[in-house]
Chains A and B, each alone.
Chain A
């Protein structure tokens, strides 16, 4: 069971629904503010942070970077640009715990991130 927190600023409910739909009983979910979500990962109360904002790296990740450090965070999509599936998989293997993206890319990146988290 992986504990996932949804932080960021946009479409939090929708992101949580998508994660639950894909992860089913393999994930537990909480929606929090960006600050509280990042703190939960920092304190080991959650394993991973997902967050969206318009640019994929501002409100989505700033607090996670502040709490966890840039080496544990990755912006998987920004307007008009998205990491490849291979790059996302590698970022999970590299130990990234916080993932930021734009709402437009949520449906594409969430399954890839989750698959990497749950199935390596």
Chain B
């Protein structure tokens, strides 16, 4: 098992994500690989997958974060990878156990855009 899978398991063992979230994160990694050709490892994928794990947990627990301000979101929308990140996000959210709020979706798009620059 690679380090990225171990990371997900560690988040589960430490009680930060439930078993449903753990399985959904493994499904996200499979989806990114099979549908988008993104074969993530610890170096490339740990920031996004850790963020996603905690984002799912926050929402299952009813915790909220604040939406980006207009300047931040405008910068994100102007990012060259924004459209592709949005396309990937539509597929990713289908395998998650909870719908994302606008704020959480914004930060996931930010992570996906950053990820696209890395791989």
Contacts and interface: CB of A to CB of B under 8 A. Distances in A.
A55 B13 contact: no
Contacts of B47: 9, 53, 59
Interface size class of A (residues with CB under 8 A): 20 to 34
Interface string A59-76: 100110111010000000
Interface in B25-78: 46-47, 50-51, 53-55, 58, 65-68
A78 B16 contact: no
B96 interface: no
Contacts of B110: 54
A62 B50 contact: yes
Contacts, number: 57
Nearest to A66: B14
Interface size class of B (residues with CB under 8 A): 20 to 34
Contacts of B10: 63, 66
Given A54-B107, A55-B65, A62 B55 contact: no
Interface string A27-46: 00000011100000000000
A57 to B, nearest CB: 6
A81 interface: yes
Contacts of A69: 14
B12 to A, nearest CB: 9
A54 B47 CA distance: 10
B50 A65 contact: no
A66 B13 contact: yes
Nearest to B107: A54
A80 interface: yes
A55 B107 contact: yes
Nearest to B66: A80
Interface of B: 7, 10-11, 13-14, 16, 46-47, 50-51, 53-55, 58, 65-68, 103, 107, 110-111
8 contacts: A34-B50, A57-B58, A63-B7, A63-B50, A65-B14, A66-B14, A66-B16, A78-B66
